[in-house]
Amino acid sequence: MSPNLLKKAGQAVALNAIANWVTLIGSLLSIVVIARILTPDDYGVFVMALVIVTLPDAIASGTLGDALVQRKELRPGHLNSVFLQSFLFSIVSWGVLILLAPLIARAYGEPSVVPVLITTGAVLPIGAVIAVPAAMLRRELRYKEITIVDILGTVTAAVIGVVMALMWRNEWALVGMELSRRIVRLVGFLFFARWVPKVQSSWLDFKELINFNLVNGTGNILQTFDQMLPKTLIGMTLGSHAVGVFNLPTRLFQQANQALIAPFAAVAMPVASAMQDSRENLHQAMDSAIRMSALLAYPTFMGAFVVAPVAIPVVFGEQWTPSVPIFQIYMVIGLRAPITAIVMGVFRGVGRPDVVAWITLTSIIATSVLLALTYQYGLVAIAFALLAKQVITFILSTWMIQRVVGFSVVRQLVAGSSAFFASCVMGVVVWLFMDFMPDGANPLLHVIATVVVGALVYPVALYFFMPRLGRHILRAVRILLSGQPREALKTVRGALAGQGG
């Protein structure tokens, strides 16, 4: 394994994690404030519009750019070809959305979706221009610049969203928040990539990318369709209020996933691309990525599951109490996220996006069947259906990664097992602590005390299951207290890279 590549990958994960944690904190703060100002109906109208835009946006802003990351040799003509395809597609898609907006609103039974959908469609050309410079930075693992852009976008969007919510108290605050975030990303990526959109390209440039783009695009379209299917069905059958109630837990899950798992998943594709001819090195990198992401993801999802009944009404307001069981189901779904997210990036990195497409097609079929059987029973039944679907796709993806790159199912499960068992211990202790808390306790103090208990119990439990890692962490703390933060970080990173199970 190239030490330089491994070092760059580690730095990329760390920087991406910083950006995602700042994004998580900023987004949570803005969500808390805005959720207390707006109603589930306001969120529902915005989500109804956004979910329709999501499908063309996935193609315009991400799918075509993946070819620039995966390809070993890259010419300026390839960049221009991707830009032309993305931008033309985005303009046509926005025009189609404008024409179909009244019909879409009628299908939802919500007339106010029309202006929101038309305005939100502006993200499409913005995302199309972002696609190339973002791919250039990802390809070179320049996550320092990506981190800066993401943080600026998050802070700007949060400020604008809160101000607009206080001024207008409706769904337009969410529209302004999304557009401002995209604009900041556009300016930032163009600046750091030093790239100017051009139209000089050739048929050869297009032809060399088309095979990967078609297969990868199919996979991404299917994944996006799979994600938008539940909210679309809820909007058409249960209305905007139900969409809003369902959206809060899904949004919180996505934010947690972005902060805890996405840093490793984002680097999985370029690293797998560079290591695709060295399977043992690729296996080591996957093992390390799953293990490290599990150390953070499992206790977070387990702890959030336990404290949700108290925390959600206190933090977001009583109007969001119906979201609690849905949120808890999503936290269970999150326990499979570290493995699935990383292996999906590996499939693309080794040039097998067709596997992603087949897994996603299976997911869509399972989602469609399960939703058809459960939607009439309400939101909780829909969430359970999605949990069952995730179990099916998890089994399929872990089996397929074993077939494609030889990384065994057992090794995938063992990589995060210690973090899982330590998280289970923490969850039981936190649940017992909550059960013994006096009924008259201040709800906010109750939540804070519960989180503190979980934060204290988890490292102790982790020390029991991973004693070698625990000793290295204690050593790192001593080094940190002596005023050597770089050496402390290096100690922890070395322990994580060498720790089994």
Residue predicted with more confidence, 53 or 204: 53
Identify the band that residue 78 occupies on the pLDDT scale cut at 50, 70 and 90.
confident
In a domain, 15, yes or no: yes
Please say if the pLDDT value at position 197 is more than 60: yes
For 404-436, the pLDDT digits (tens) are 888 898 988 888 888 899 999 999 999 999 888
List the single range of 49-58, 117-126, 137-146 with lowest mean pLDDT: 137-146
In a domain, 13, yes or no: yes
Two structure tokens written together for 438? 């006096």
DSSP symbols for 95-155: HHHHHHHHHHHHHHT-TTHHHHHHHHTTHHHHHHHHHHHHHHHHHTT-HHHHHHHHHHHHH
In a domain, 482, yes or no: no
Closest CA to 161 of 180, 133, 134: 180
Two structure tokens written together for 267? 């680097």
- The pTM score is 0.76
Amino acid 444: pLDDT: 81
Cα(173)–Cα(428) distance, integer angstroms: 40
Amino acid 339: pLDDT: 84
Cα(126)–Cα(152) distance, integer angstroms: 17
Tokens 């989500």 belong to 47
For 255-281, the pLDDT digits (tens) are 788 777 776 776 777 777 777 777 888
Two structure tokens written together for 106? 């009628």
Amino acid 1: pLDDT: 44
Residue predicted with more confidence, 389 or 204: 389
List the single range of 22-26, 49-53, 86-90, 359-363 with lowest mean pLDDT: 22-26
Q: How far is CA 202 from the centre of its chain?
A: 35
For 276-314, the pLDDT digits (tens) are 777 888 888 888 888 888 888 899 999 999 999 989 988
In a domain, 223, yes or no: yes
Mean per-residue pLDDT for 45-66?
84
Asked if 352 and 277 count as a contact pair (C-beta separation under 8 A), the reply is no
Which structural domain range is residue 19 located in?
Answer: 1-239
DSSP symbols for 70-87: H-SS--HHHHHHHHHHHH
CA atoms in the 13 A half-sphere facing the CB of 333: 24
Cα(349)–Cα(21) distance, integer angstroms: 25
Identify the band that residue 118 occupies on the pLDDT scale cut at 50, 70 and 90.
very high
- Structurally, the chain folds into a number of domains equal to 1
Amino acid 142: pLDDT: 77
Amino acid 14: pLDDT: 57
Amino acid 68: pLDDT: 77
Asked if 28 and 312 count as a contact pair (C-beta separation under 8 A), the reply is no
Residue predicted with more confidence, 500 or 37: 37
The most confident of the ranges 177-191, 218-232, 474-488 is 177-191
Percentage of the chain modeled with pLDDT above 90: 29
For 91-112, the pLDDT digits (tens) are 999 999 999 999 999 999 999 9
Asked if 16 and 266 count as a contact pair (C-beta separation under 8 A), the reply is yes
Q: How far is CA 283 from the centre of its chain?
A: 23
Amino acid 500: pLDDT: 45
In a domain, 212, yes or no: yes
Q: How far is CA 306 from the centre of its chain?
A: 22
Asked if 426 and 407 count as a contact pair (C-beta separation under 8 A), the reply is no
Mean per-residue pLDDT for 233-238?
87
In a domain, 101, yes or no: yes
Asked if 250 and 382 count as a contact pair (C-beta separation under 8 A), the reply is no
Average pLDDT taken over every residue of the chain: 83
Please say if the pLDDT value at position 6 is more than 80: no
Residue 445 CB coordination number (10 Å): 11
Mean per-residue pLDDT for 206-210?
72
Cα(345)–Cα(338) distance, integer angstroms: 11
In a domain, 2, yes or no: yes
